């Protein structure tokens, strides 16, 4: 798949998994445009990777997203791959109202669900209009398939996005746009570190390097039009269970996805 990816827009690529993928794509000689909300992190990344293009945007500012998409697609009309990465993960107990706030719940849903859906709504028509093979990718989580109680909203938001991608894949069947879900297990990133002190439940973490290597082994050797959920580690267990259950029901109904 990666051999056919030439100009890649990474929405949220200044840290963690996003940054690791950006660095791997850069080594492969891909043209890259990376967005992030922290200008300092964008500047740091650009100074370390020659030829990298950066663009400052904040996914939590929902009203600004359509204009950002318009600007990016106009400025970089050769984009063939859009990868929406990043999100917010909040650990709290549903039994303790003091462990979260209404604002934090709304922010987590807006960042993890509303923003990706809005971005997809505006990017897909552009990708369809190119007429050439294109890819739309979103990072979800193994917790979309195997939820744990420490992250009640996070798990639900990632499950939402998984189902959204399945439906979008069904709608785009037969077109030039491939819909691919990246479903990581628990990866040792800033996100993981921030919550280890709060909750140690769930599967063990794997290193960013290990996750990147295993994911790119799939991406490098897979055909984009045939890839659906790309998962490793415990996340693959969840994907396999979903594909062997609900996935088979959809196939039986000739819906696919």
Count of positions (residues) in the chain = 257
CATH of 2-252, one of 3.40.50.720, 2.120.10.30, 3.90.105.10, 3.10.180.10: 3.40.50.720
> Distance (Å, rounded) from C-alpha 229 to C-alpha 212?
15
Strand blocks (E) in 4-120: 7-11, 31-36, 53-56, 81-84
Strand blocks (E) in 96-228: 134-139, 177-183
pLDDT value of position 256: 85
pLDDT value of position 135: 98
Full-model pTM: 0.94
Cβ-Cβ contacts under 8 Å for 190 (sequence gap 6 or more): 15, 16
What DSSP character marks residue 206?
Answer: B
pLDDT value of position 95: 95
pLDDT value of position 14: 95
pLDDT per residue rounded down to tens, the chain (257 residues) = 999 999 999 999 999 999 999 999 999 999 999 999 999 999 999 999 999 999 999 999 999 999 999 999 999 999 999 999 989 999 999 999 999 999 999 999 999 999 999 999 999 999 999 999 999 999 999 999 999 999 999 999 999 999 999 999 999 999 999 999 999 999 997 654 555 445 555 667 899 999 999 999 999 999 999 999 999 999 999 999 999 999 999 988 888 89
3-state secondary structure of 229: strand
Match 């791959």 to its residue by tokens. Answer: 81
What residues are paired with 139 via a beta bridge?
182
CB atoms within 10 A of CB 91: 20
CB atoms within 10 A of CB 27: 9
pLDDT value of position 191: 58
| Beta carbons of 139 and 219 less than 8 angstroms apart | no
Question: Does residue 154 have an active-site annotation?
Answer: yes
């Amino acid at each position: 798949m990666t051999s056919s990816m030439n100009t890649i827009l990474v929405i949220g690529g200044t840290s963690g998994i996003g940054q690791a993928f950006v660095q791997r794509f850069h080594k492969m000689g891909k043209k890259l445009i990376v967005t992030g909300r922290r200008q300092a992190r964008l500047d740091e990344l650009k100074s370390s990777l020659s030829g990298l293009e950066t663009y400052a945007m904040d996914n939590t500012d929902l009203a600004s997203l359509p204009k950002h998409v318009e600007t990016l697609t106009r400025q970089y009309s050769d984009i063939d791959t859009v990868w929406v990465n990043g999100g917010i993960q909040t650990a709290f107990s549903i039994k303790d109202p003091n462990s979260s706030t209404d604002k934090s719940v709304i922010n987590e849903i807006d960042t993890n669900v509303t923003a990706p859906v809005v971005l997809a709504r505006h990017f897909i028509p552009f990708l369809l209009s190119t007429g050439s093979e294109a890819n739309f990718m979103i990072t979800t989580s193994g917790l979309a398939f195997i939820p744990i109680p420490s992250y009640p909203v996070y798990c639900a938001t990632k499950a939402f996005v998984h189902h959204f991608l399945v439906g979008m894949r069904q709608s785009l069947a037969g077109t030039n746009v491939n819909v691919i879900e990246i479903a990581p297990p628990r990866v040792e990133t800033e996100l993981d570190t921030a919550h280890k002190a709060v909750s140690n439940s769930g599967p063990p973490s794997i290193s960013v390097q290990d996750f990147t290597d295993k994911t790119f082994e799939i991406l490098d050797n897979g055909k984009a039009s045939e890839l659906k959920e790309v998962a490793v580690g415990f996340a693959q267990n969840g994907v396999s269970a979903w594909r062997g259950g609900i996935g088979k029901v959809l196939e039986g109904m000739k819906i696919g996805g």
